[in-house]
Structure 1
């Protein structure tokens, strides 16, 4: 058994030709201290312990392999990006040696590098989820990152188009094929990916609903077809295959193409700061302004947590105020009225 320093600076203990294990440190003095402790203790027992201890590199590889086949492609891609970034930052560390301090240092590093807080929070959630998987697989007794909080972000009110804005878009788009996609998002509140994978089999004209099967939270939902949406759908031909087909037969429109096309449309109409997802906000916001409850809006949007829907709460409050202000009651009493009653 000997001490060895990897080219990345991490110290290892070499057990034999086929076995080595990271000591989880790049500090020479710390590595020598651990190595001496190993030599003084029960040699065979320590080797057995080392054999059982995984590095984060080994665990992350297994974790991503699991995600690759059990999760959506977007989820796997996001998880892969976060875990690789974290591993690259802390080095070849033992799985059971990762602490909240490591994640805190990683977070600070990302902030200094200019990453957005929303992006960093995704990394934090993904990394914590991976360590929860380690607990599930009985590789760790508990998640060492439990209690680590995400970065606080000032919540901006959602951007949305008004009814007047939508009239403007109807004139701008005219017979442009993009008109169908634009107003479909407005009239259903679908997420980008939910609409792209829809086929005409998902459009139920008998029950007058759109079946949303592939959702973010894996819970299917139905969105009622309103009169405007019915008119829009009737104008789309042919009614077979994908609702929004791609250039190659049998494929749907590429997500990036849809995003850029809608973005260009918004910019041309004078809304350069808006994006495709704001059409979902438009759907929810106009419902809120029309008096719908947050619970109804939540069900239509497919939010798993009502707190996500609460970004529209200020709009329902404004609607209630407007409704109450319609009560025009004369509650004033003049001195003359009092004298006459006496």
Structure 2
């Protein structure tokens, strides 16, 4: 006897409801194992959801908006707060208004080029446009890893950006710089944090996350116990920095630089005082990451082997370390003077 299904359900002689669903030309049948209609309907909806989400062999291609929500949910506890917020803000302001409802596999080069043109027409800089493209590719590649796509459906080149000289702090400017930071900082932790980034070459997150337990008073060393590369490294602490850190009022807290809530200060904590000090001295855009480059450059000028600088910075690839080492203006001037002597023009 042929079973007649009504709204995808049919009651069998044994009393249980069976379901029959057709999706994309393919039929799915089975038992709900439920004897009452209300429960059977709930099982039917769950089976339909599983089929649409690919759990029964059919993969539903999500929209870009859905990919974004999935990325934000999955990576909130994985990436840094700053990176997560950058993805959330840029995608919300620029990507979603144009591509939210577009299926991720149907985004074309034309769609991305149009979005790029709109940002430029709105007065956004090429750097901002490239940041948007990076995030769009990040979301697309996440879709590839999740199995929604076999490859990115678009291929758009980044805009070429004229690079500017990257500032670093010269050794002769150190005293003036630290004095300016002391004058402009309203929190006593800021001057010491900035000194730690210059004296140890720490990333901002590593400096903010310093712990008292990672200091060794006997050897005067500090262990970077939580680093970007997931590998701890031991750094000798120079005397001037050791004195600055241990001159701060001690709190009953595991963190060296705790905020009012007992947790470490948040990202960009030193940004404004650093900007004020740089503006006062005319140092340009000397960010906290350029302080890390200052550490590398000053060590290179002092003759420290590049492999030692690599170890202190925590780089796995020495080519990355070379990016951080900047040649000072004085070194370039000295080289020019030597050449002038050789040419007999000095």
TM-score for the superposition, normalised by structure 2 = 0.68
Give the alignment partner of residue 245 of structure 1, picking from 253, 258, 278: 258
Give the match for residue 25 of structure 2.
45
Give a deviation string over 1:89-127, Cα, whole Å, max 9, x none.
234111210123322322222222222333332322222
Give a deviation string over 1:5-24, Cα, whole Å, max 9, x none.
xxxxxxxxxxxxxxxxxxxx
Inter-partner Cα distance in structure 1 for 2:163 and 2:223: 31
Kindly tell me: are residues 262 and 245 of structure 1, through their superposed partners in 2, closer, same or farther at Cα, counting changes over 3 Å? Answer: farther
Inter-partner Cα distance in structure 1 for 2:23 and 2:202: 61
Give a deviation string over 1:189-236, Cα, whole Å, max 9, x none.
222222112121232334543333444454443433233323333323
1:306-325 to structure 2, matched below 5 A, reads 306-312=318-324, 315=327
Give a deviation string over 1:21-52, Cα, whole Å, max 9, x none.
xxxxxxxxxxxxxxxxxxxxx99539999982
Give the alignment partner of residue 151 of structure 2, picking from 109, 120, 142: 142
Give the match for residue 160 of structure 2.
152
Give the match for residue 200 of structure 1.
212
Deviation at 1:139, TM superposition (A): 0.9
Kindly tell me: are residues 242 and 253 of structure 1, through their superposed partners in 2, closer, same or farther at Cα, counting changes over 3 Å? Answer: same
Inter-partner Cα distance in structure 1 for 2:178 and 2:81: 35
Q: Is the 8 A contact 2:296 2:325 kept in 1?
A: no
Return 5+ residue gaps in structure 1 as ranges. 1-41, 331-342
Q: Is the 8 A contact 2:223 2:233 kept in 1?
A: yes
Secondary structure at the residue paired with 2:223? Answer: strand
Inter-partner Cα distance in structure 2 for 1:217 and 1:58: 31
Superposed CA RMSD: 3.9
Give the match for residue 126 of structure 1.
135
Inter-partner Cα distance in structure 2 for 1:204 and 1:211: 8
Kindly tell me: are residues 93 and 179 of structure 1, through their superposed partners in 2, closer, same or farther at Cα, counting changes over 3 Å? Answer: closer
Q: Is the 8 A contact 1:67 1:76 kept in 2?
A: yes
Secondary structure at the residue paired with 2:149? Answer: coil
Give the match for residue 60 of structure 1.
68
Kindly tell me: are residues 99 and 202 of structure 1, through their superposed partners in 2, closer, same or farther at Cα, counting changes over 3 Å? Answer: farther
Q: Is the 8 A contact 2:297 2:326 kept in 1?
A: no
1:44-193 to structure 2, matched below 5 A, reads 45=25, 52-84=60-92, 85-145=94-154, 148-172=156-180, 173=182, 177=188, 178-193=190-205
Give the match for residue 19 of structure 1.
none
Inter-partner Cα distance in structure 2 for 1:43 and 1:167: 72
Q: Is the 8 A contact 1:158 1:281 kept in 2?
A: no
1:25-36 to structure 2, matched below 5 A, reads none
Q: Is the 8 A contact 1:289 1:318 kept in 2?
A: no
Give a deviation string over 1:214-272, Cα, whole Å, max 9, x none.
44454443433233323333323317532222234x13334344221222233344546
